[in-house]
Amino acid sequence: MPSQNAIGVFDSGLGGLSAVKEFLQLLPNEKIIYFGDTGRVPYGNRSRSTISKYAFQDTNFLLKHNVKMIVAACGTVSSVAGDDLRNNLPVPYTGVVNPTAFAAEKKTRNGKIGIIGTSATINSHSYKLRLEKLNPTLKVYEQACPLFVPLVENGFIRRDDQIVRLVIKRYLSELKEQGIDTLILGCTHYPLLRDTISDFMGDEVELVDSGFETAVYSAKILKENDLLNNDKSVKQPEFFVSDTPDDFKNVAGLFLGRDMEHTVTQIDIEKY
Ligand code: DGL
């Protein structure tokens, strides 16, 4: 596999762009091809078989671009279909669960870790099982936050937004009472609510961003497989979506933390 080939990153929608932001910073000379399944988002309240079918269509699309590695920048896909993908893809694969659980286990000081994610992610107990395997003495608390993704996809991300604050209070009060010192943002949409979540949880609770940890881990896998791009020029990412690109362009800049100057192409994902 030529090391100049792109890294394929995908998510159910825009959330995975929070991971792309980290990839662009960490590995600027790697070409990123991103697919956001904006026509079928959200995945988080769908069945295991549907999420798995979608995940394989998404990866088939990326493989058509001869990607050298695939990253499921989606907590839901990683939790529900991660093992199937890892065992069946012809290229190295990572989801977000393993790298993020690993980082959280290193960070906690009092051994109490909270996890927030979509309903599918929390019902799978993927992060909890992984953490308990890493360290059986940990106390792990889980909370599904199904309203976070629609809020973010609709641009409700201002730190002082009263609706966002209320929803955060409703979902996170119990975790706060448990005295956790580490909170995993187990869905790649959640970094967009990071400041407001932190305001509620307080400075003593460290937030672990699955996008960042996954980018760091992906760099490690590429290095181990001798797949890091030797061509040092800065590459521009390419974006594909399954619904109209108009909204994507508007909201994507918020995730990437920069203006979206790149082209976005709409594709028919059902063909893959
Ligand atoms: N970004 C996806 C995740 O990490 C989200 C959401 C969804 O499609 O429900 O779980």
Mean pLDDT of 40-49: 92
pLDDT in the model for residue 254: 77
The string of pLDDT tens digits covering residues 170-213 is 999 999 999 999 999 999 999 999 999 999 999 999 999 999 99
Mean pLDDT of 38-43: 92
Secondary structure string (H, E, C) spanning the chain: CCCCCCEEEEECCCCCHHHHHHHHHHCCCCCEEEEECCCCCCCCCCCHHHHHHHHHHHHHHHHCCCCCEEEECCHHHHHHHHHHHHHHCCCCEECCHHHHHHHHHHHCCCCEEEEEECHHHHHHCHHHHHHHHHCCCCEEEEEECCCHHHHHHCCCCCCCCHHHHHHHHHHHHHHHHCCCCEEEECCCCHHHHHHHHHHHHCCCCEEEEHHHHHHHHHHHHHHHCCCCCCCCCCCCCEEEECCCHHHHHHHHHHHHCCCCCCCEEECCHHHC
pLDDT in the model for residue 57: 98
Determine which residue's CA is closest to atom 9 belonging to ligand 1. 44
Q: Model's pTM, two decimal places?
A: 0.93
CA distances 22 to 56, 146, 214, 217, Å, are 24, 24, 9, 11
Report the candidate in 98, 100, 95, 76 with the shortest Cα–Cα distance to residue 206.
100
Comparison of pLDDT for 259 and 144, the residue scoring more: 144
**Taken in order 16, 20, 26, 29, is the CA torsion positive or negative?**
positive
91 lines ligand 1 (CB under 6 A): no
For the chain, what is the mean pLDDT?
94
The string of pLDDT tens digits covering residues 73-83 is 999 999 999 99
Q: Is the pLDDT of residue 259 over 80?
A: no
76 lines ligand 1 (CB under 6 A): yes
pLDDT in the model for residue 246: 82
The residues carrying an active-site annotation are 74, 187
- Given pLDDT bands bounded at 50, 70 and 90, which one contains residue 247? confident
> Cα(98)–Cα(103) distance, rounded to whole angstroms?
9
Ligand 1 center to 76 CA (angstroms): 5
Q: Is the pLDDT of residue 45 over 90?
A: no
77 lines ligand 1 (CB under 6 A): no
Ligand 1, pocket-test mutation among 43, 71, 243, most atoms within 8 A of CB: 43
The string of pLDDT tens digits covering residues 63-119 is 999 999 999 999 999 999 999 999 999 999 999 999 999 999 999 999 999 999 999
CA 11 to ligand 1: nearest atom: 1
188 lines ligand 1 (CB under 6 A): yes
> Cα(24)–Cα(222) distance, rounded to whole angstroms?
15
- Given pLDDT bands bounded at 50, 70 and 90, which one contains residue 260? low
Ligand 1, pocket-test mutation among 10, 11, 52, 78, most atoms within 8 A of CB: 11
211 lines ligand 1 (CB under 6 A): no
